[in-house]
Amino acid sequence: MTPVRVLAVASEVYPLVKTGGLADVAGALPVALKTHGVEMRTLLPGYPDVMRLLSGTEELRRWPDYFGGPGRLLAGSHAGLDLFVLDVPHLYARPGNPYVTADGVDWPDNGVRFAALSRVAADIGHALVPAFVPDVVHAHDWQAGLAPAYLHYDDRPRPGTVMTIHNMAYQGKFAPALLGSIGLPWHAFNVDALEYFGGISFLKAGLRFADRITTVSPTYAKEIQSDEGGMGLGGLLRQRSDVLSGILNGVDTEVWNPQTDPHIAYRFDAEELTFRAANKAVLQQQFNLDSSDETPLLGVISRLSWQKGLDLLLEAIPTILREGMQLALLGSGDRDLQDRYQAAARANPGRIGVVIGYDEILAHLIQAGSDALIVPSRFEPCGLTQLCALRYGAVPIVSRVGGLEDTIVDIGEADTSGHDATGFKFAPVTADALAGTLRKANVAFHDKLTWRRLQRSGLATDVSWRNRAGDYAALYRDLMARRS
């Protein structure tokens, strides 16, 4: 097997910096690819947490003026990941969320911040680091979208390029004037290049110029070719459908392992599902819910945004109460949703528990202790929490979109698909359909045999990266073969 060298470019990488699933994927994929003969190094910005955690640091390059201030390219490692870190303090030495200020608004210079990241990715593609000359540059989301564009306009021999879409809703839109300050030619302001409704879009740049486009599930790959799912870029994706494919995400099965998880109260495996009850009791305590093993406990771990459909779950709270169920929600995001969930918790003590914030440890406990995990998304490129739920014996209740459609087998579909049912799927994505499915899940919960069967087939589902990483390895190899 010929070894392949791949430079991955991502704006967040678990466990160094994370706001969502992109970080999980960027952190787990390089490790999984090792057994497929792929040597992957990951380039990310030198945010304060990254600089603090990086070890074995070596300075590869120093610039007196990199996009308006001094900068360095470092090599180093963390948690088994080989990293390139772009240390440019005037762009990245800012605490907190990588994209927004403490008030939750985008940093005004995000265009320059992520153009700088893509510029150095393209330079590494051109052998800036002689010890690691990549065969492929793999850009994740809009923050890395300019990498394929720089490589295109540089007009030199270049590596192959892959653009992966984790979320069409974030397109990296900026004013055209930015082009002048990020070293792209003015003719890139063109409808067949970066121009997008009078501005420029970094995601469009990646989709336009990458040799291959992937997204994180086969169903999302279809959805984004429609006008609605493409969110403005459906036409371009239809044009490029011959190079577009969907590869499902996996989860890091070391981090998410109920047999060894240090964050849960009681560890368990498929044979000892009764031990989940002990985690449920701790979860009920932590969310100030009445302690009762017989009460079905619904869990949610999510960003609170329009995408995730959690306004629909708020509308379904009367059903949750009427059905005698409980809800434990961990999330942060939209102020309005945060306030409404907190109000629901105040109005229903013992029944609705809400923690606003980002808390990895609590996320693990919800997976281990809730009976069902709800993901009512309006769209979901892949979704990772339902995969973790399968692995922890929490039965997923999901909307029938994107990766949720591809990863969960509905209780009514088991016979036709040939796979055992692992959860519940609802459509259309409305509060009524969700409420109806919650009622159905409640009936199933009280039929112990049915529920155990759902849990066991979830636990038997392979949600690891093992096979999925092989699809990326095959894609890189195919790209290399066609380019040589």
Report 108-167 residues binding ligand ADP (CB under 6 A): none
From the list ligand ADP, ligand GLC, none, pick the one residue 332 interacts with, judged by a Cβ distance below 5 to 8 Å according to partner type: ligand ADP
Report 11-40 residues binding ligand ADP (CB under 6 A): 20-21, 24
CB 417 → ligand ADP: shortest distance, Å?
Answer: 23
Q: Which is it for strands 71-78 and 81-87: parallel, antiparallel or unpaired? A: antiparallel
> Which residue(s) pair with 396 in the sheet?
373
Report 415-454 residues binding ligand ADP (CB under 6 A): none
Give the list of residues 6+ apart from residue 431 with CB closer than 8 angstroms, or none: 312, 313, 315, 316
From the list ligand GLC, ligand ADP, none, pick the one residue 359 interacts with, judged by a Cβ distance below 5 to 8 Å according to partner type: ligand ADP
From the list ligand ADP, ligand GLC, none, pick the one residue 302 interacts with, judged by a Cβ distance below 5 to 8 Å according to partner type: ligand ADP
* Residue 275 DSSP class: G
Residue 25 makes contact with ligand GLC by CB under 6 A: yes
Report 178-207 residues binding ligand ADP (CB under 6 A): none
From the list ligand ADP, ligand GLC, none, pick the one residue 301 interacts with, judged by a Cβ distance below 5 to 8 Å according to partner type: ligand ADP
Residue 334 makes contact with ligand ADP by CB under 6 A: no
Burial of 39 (0-12, 13-18, 19+ CB in 10 A): middle
Residue 360 makes contact with ligand ADP by CB under 6 A: yes
**CB-wise, 216 or 395, nearer to ligand GLC?**
216
| Cα–Cα distance, 403 to 250 (Å, whole number) | 11
CB 279 → ligand ADP: shortest distance, Å?
Answer: 16
| Alpha helical stretches, state H, 158-298 | 178-181, 202-209, 218-223, 227-230, 234-239, 276-286
Residue 363 makes contact with ligand ADP by CB under 6 A: yes
Instruction: Centre a 10 Å sphere on the Cβ of residue 311 and count the other Cβ atoms it contains.
Output: 18
CA dihedral 149, 154, 160, 165 (to 10 degrees): -10
Q: Which stretch binds ligand ADP (CB under 6 A): 126-134, 237-245, 291-299, 358-366?
A: 358-366
Q: How far is CA 357 from the centre of its chain?
A: 18
Q: Which residue's beta carbon is nearest to the bound ligand GLC?
A: 21
* Residue 19 DSSP class: S
From the list ligand GLC, ligand ADP, none, pick the one residue 369 interacts with, judged by a Cβ distance below 5 to 8 Å according to partner type: none
Report 285-324 residues binding ligand ADP (CB under 6 A): 301-303
- Euclidean distance between the first and the last CA atom of the chain, given in angstroms as a whole number: 16
Cβ pair 116, 66 in contact under 8 A? yes
Nearest CA to 160 among 395, 475, 373? 475
From the list ligand ADP, ligand GLC, none, pick the one residue 216 interacts with, judged by a Cβ distance below 5 to 8 Å according to partner type: ligand GLC
| Contact flags string 226-265 toward ligand GLC, x per CB under 6 A | -----------------------x----------------
**CB-wise, 110 or 284, nearer to ligand GLC?**
110
Instruction: Centre a 10 Å sphere on the Cβ of residue 447 and count the other Cβ atoms it contains.
Output: 10
Among residues 149, 375, 382, 401, the one that binds ligand GLC under rule CB under 6 A: 382
| Cα–Cα distance, 274 to 269 (Å, whole number) | 10
Residue 11 makes contact with ligand GLC by CB under 6 A: no
CB 167 → ligand GLC: shortest distance, Å?
Answer: 4
Cβ pair 125, 146 in contact under 8 A? no
Residue 353 makes contact with ligand ADP by CB under 6 A: no
Count of residues interacting with ligand ADP (CB under 6 A): 17
Structure tokens given for 398: 């999901």
Cβ pair 402, 429 in contact under 8 A? no
Which residues make up each annotated binding site for ADP-alpha-D-glucose? 18
Q: Give the binding site for ligand ADP (CB under 6 A).
A: 20-21, 24, 301-303, 330-332, 358-360, 363, 382-385
